[in-house]
């Protein structure tokens, strides 16, 4: 059902993603070593990933989204995510679960607990992360199959202190021949920083990758999505309301899904759009607040840029002039560029035809 607000895991519930899904599954079947899925927040990356992983033989997902609420993360945080992802994988592999556990128990820092495993993050024998991936790869090779390992919102790996996940993934890329690595990211610029784009000193620099980009729906597609979603639930909705929802929520599938789901719960009315915008703005602002963690010195300037862009698109010069008027002093050009670039890399702002605009209409609404 299109209006299920949880990430989808079946292709029948995906709207207009058949081409992207087939592209992803084909890359996994080819054993492409590195696959990158990127796009705006709430555009459907997790749904695409979960659906593909449900159709391949062996897929593990590590959900890194919880790390996005912190300025910095520890090895303990990451190891707990790995433990959860591996145990979820084991729970879905009932017929071969004990064989996999028998392989994993030989990894330093892994303890067998019944039909699952626990990982150590400290002490004398912390989890050997590279060893974990190598053992899984050897298990896949011995069975003449392949394994897909996904990191959802992979830019968060940059925050983890003292591990160097870029080096570990470079090692997996080079030596684990039965393993495909999938990285998804909403903060596209930060994701590509992690991948070492333009940095020859980075561990992952120069590695070939298969890229899959998800875009927002065009207005006609967004209207079609809503009409088909309401048809699935036998709800009749006037075209005028659908068009108004698309104007205000743009082609971001997540917000359109929330609008449809809210109509099913509370009834179809124009007030639902405002309700979705009000509730959604709380989530969008919380995500922006997470971005500001560790950037407190420049908080007012980042907020100033978003407040300015909430009124409409602006050029670099327009943003600089606004900040200078607001602060009553001249600002260094390089500093202004750094501020804008940080917002673009984090996915809150995008550049279109030499003008900057807020990527998410709900974030813009929250600053009006």
Per-residue pLDDT, 214: 97
Whole-angstrom CA distances from 302 to 286, 314, 342 are 14, 15, 9
Per-residue pLDDT, 71: 86
Beta strands 110-113 and 210-213: pairing type? unpaired
What value does the mean pLDDT take over residues 92-119?
A: 94
What value does the mean pLDDT take over residues 125-134?
A: 96
Tokens (6 digits) for 188? 């596209």
**Residue 295 clears pLDDT 90, i.e. is over it:** yes
- Three-state secondary-structure class, residue 59: strand
**Residue 39 clears pLDDT 90, i.e. is over it:** yes
Between residues 13 and 162, the one the model is more confident about: 13
What value does the mean pLDDT take over residues 210-221?
A: 97
Per-residue pLDDT, 301: 98
Q: Which CATH class is domain 297-366?
A: mainly alpha
Query: What pTM did the predictor assign?
Result: 0.95
Domain range summary for the chain, segments of one domain joined by +: 11-213, 219-269, 297-366
What value does the mean pLDDT take over residues 218-228?
A: 97
Kind and range of the H or E element at 210?
strand 210-213
3 and 322 Cβ atoms separated by less than 8 Å: no
Per-residue pLDDT, 172: 98
Radius of gyration of the chain (CA): 22
Per-residue pLDDT, 9: 95
User: What's the half-sphere exposure (Cβ side, CA atoms, 13 Å) at 235?
Assistant: 23
At CA 109, angle to CA 108 and CA 114, rounded to 5?
110
261 and 13 Cβ atoms separated by less than 8 Å: no
CATH for 11-213 (3.10.129.10, 3.40.50.720, 3.30.479.30, 3.40.50.300): 3.40.50.300
Condensed to tens digits (0 to 9), the pLDDT of residues 307-326 reads 999 999 999 999 999 999 99
Q: Which residues of 163-202 are buried (b: 16+ CB within 10 A; e: fewer)?
A: eebbebbbebbeebebbbbbbbbbbbbbbbbbbbeeeeeb
**Residue 105 clears pLDDT 90, i.e. is over it:** yes
Kind and range of the H or E element at 38?
strand 34-38
Condensed to tens digits (0 to 9), the pLDDT of residues 238-293 reads 999 999 999 999 999 999 999 999 999 999 999 999 999 999 999 999 999 999 99
CB neighbours of 207 closer than 8 A, spacing ≥ 6?
Answer: 33, 34, 170, 173, 195
Whose CA is closest to 184, among 146, 149, 215, 155? 155
**Residue 70 clears pLDDT 90, i.e. is over it:** no
In this structure, the dihedral spanned by the alpha carbons of residues 215, 220, 221 and 227, taken in order and rounded to 10 degrees, is: 150
Strand partners, 349: 358
Token pair 């909430």: residue: 310
**Residue 162 clears pLDDT 90, i.e. is over it:** no
Tokens (6 digits) for 226? 């809503």
């Amino acid at each position: 059902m299109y209006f299920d607000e949880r990430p989808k895991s079946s292709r029948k519930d995906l709207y207009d993603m058949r081409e992207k899904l087939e592209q992803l599954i084909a890359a996994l079947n080819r054993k492409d070593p590195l696959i990158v899925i990127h796009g705006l927040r709430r555009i459907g990356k997790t749904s695409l990933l979960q659906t593909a992983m449900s159709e391949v033989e062996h897929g593990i997902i590590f959900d890194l989204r919880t790390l996005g609420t912190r300025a910095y993360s520890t090895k303990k945080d990451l190891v707990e995510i790995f433990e959860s992802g591996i145990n979820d994988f084991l729970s879905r592999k009932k017929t071969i679960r004990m064989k996999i556990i028998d392989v994993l128990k030989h990894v330093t820092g892994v303890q067998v607990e019944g039909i699952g495993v626990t990982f150590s993050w400290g002490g004398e024998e912390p989890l050997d992360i590279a060893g974990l991936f190598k053992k899984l790869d050897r298990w896949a090779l011995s069975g003449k199959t392949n394994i897909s390992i996904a990191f959802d919102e992979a830019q968060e790996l940059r925050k983890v202190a003292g591990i160097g996940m870029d080096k570990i993934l470079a090692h997996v890329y080079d030596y684990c021949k039965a393993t495909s690595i999938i990285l998804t990211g909403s903060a596209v610029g930060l994701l590509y920083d992690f991948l070492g784009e333009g940095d020859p000193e980075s561990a992952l620099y120069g590695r070939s990758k298969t890229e899959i980009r998800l875009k927002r729906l065009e207005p006609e597609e967004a209207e079609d999505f809503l009409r088909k979603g309401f048809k699935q639930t036998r709800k009749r909705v006037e075209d005028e309301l659908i068009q108004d929802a698309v104007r205000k929520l743009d082609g971001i599938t997540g917000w359109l899904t929330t609008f449809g789901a809210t109509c099913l719960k509370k009834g179809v009315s124009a007030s639902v759009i405002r309700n979705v915008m009000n509730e959604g703005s709380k989530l969008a602002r919380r995500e922006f607040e997470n971005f500001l963690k560790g950037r407190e010195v420049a908080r007012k300037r980042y907020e100033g840029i978003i407040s300015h862009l909430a009124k409409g698109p602006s050029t670099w010069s327009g943003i600089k002039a606004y900040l200078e008027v607001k602060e009553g002093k001249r600002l260094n050009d390089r500093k202004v560029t750094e501020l804008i670039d940080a917002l673009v890399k984090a996915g809150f702002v995008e550049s279109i035809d030499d003008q900057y605009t807020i990527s998410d209409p709900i974030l813009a609404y929250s600053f009006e």
